[in-house]
Amino acid sequence: MNIYRKTWNLFVKFKTEIIVYAAVCLITSALYLFICGMLGLSNPYVPTELLRTNTMKMLTVYAFGTMINAWFTAGIAGKFTAELLTGAPREIRYYANGWFLQKFTADIIFACAIYTPVLLLSVISLGIYTGFAVWFVFCVWFCVRLSLWLNASLDGDPGFIAAMKRSFVITRGHVMRIITLCLVPMIVFVPINWLLRKALASNVTAVFFANSLVNGIVSVIFLGVFASLYADIKSAANAARTDNGTVA
C-alpha cells in the first residue's frame, strides 16, 4: 500500500501534467484515425487485423504515436522520479527532451518483444501456440526485470545500456511484487472499461477514445508505481549500505 500511497501523492502534486497527458492521449487517438484515413486504412478500430494486412503502413502509424507518447511519458517519469529522490523536480520538458530518444527506443524494443508473438500467432497454425506462449511469458518476465530502467536512467543518467543493467539488478527478487503492483490497477480498470463500452456501445468512435483515455490513465499509474518502487528499493539499499558501514 505504501507504493500506491506514494503514487497517489504524485498524482495529486502533478495533476496538471497528468491532465495534459490525458488530453494528449485523446489528441493522439484523433491523429491515429486521421493518419489511417490518409493512408487508406479501413476500419482503424481493429488494429491487429490492419497490422497483419498492412504491416508497413500500420508500423508507420504506430511509430508516430509512440514518438508522441515517449516524449510525454519521459517527462512525467522524470518529474515523478526526481520528486521522490530529490524533492526538487525540474520542468517536464527537461526530462522529455533529455530522455525522449531512450524512451522511444525502449518502447520499440518492448513492443517488438511483447507483440511479435501475438502478430505471428494470427498467421500460424495452432500446433506451435505453446512455444509462443512460453516466449510470451519469458518476454513479460524480461520486461518486468527491465521495468525500472527509465527511473535508473533518470537517476544520474548512467546511459541507456547501464540503466537497463541497473534495472535488471535491482529488480532481482521483486518480479512478483512488480507484476502484482501492475495487475491491481489493470484489474480495477477492467469494470470501468466495460461500463464505458456498454454506455457507448452505439458509437464505436466514442468507445475508441474512451479506451485511449483509460489506457493513458493506467500508463501514468504505472509510471507512478515504477518511480515509487525505484525510490523504495534505492532507499532500502542505501539503508543496508549504511548498516554495513559503507557510503551510499
Whether the pLDDT of residue 218 is over 90: the answer is yes
In a domain, 248, yes or no: no
Of residues 110, 134, 221, 229, the one with CA closest to residue 174: 229
In a domain, 50, yes or no: yes
Of residues 82, 105, 70, 102, the one with CA closest to residue 230: 82
Tens of pLDDT along 122-139? Answer: 555 555 566 667 777 888
pLDDT at residue number 132: 66
**Pick from 46-50, 104-108, 143-147, 219-223: least confident:** 46-50
Average pLDDT over residues 184-203: 85
State the residue range of the domain holding 113.
2-239
Number of domains in the chain: 1
Average pLDDT over the chain, rounded to whole? 87
In a domain, 246, yes or no: no
In a domain, 150, yes or no: yes
pLDDT at residue number 197: 80
Residues 208, 30 contacting (CB under 8 angstroms): no
In a domain, 89, yes or no: yes
Rounded CA separation 180/175 (Å):
9
Q: What does the CA dihedral 224, 226, 231, 236 come to, rounded to 10 degrees? A: 140
In a domain, 247, yes or no: no
In a domain, 193, yes or no: yes
In a domain, 85, yes or no: yes
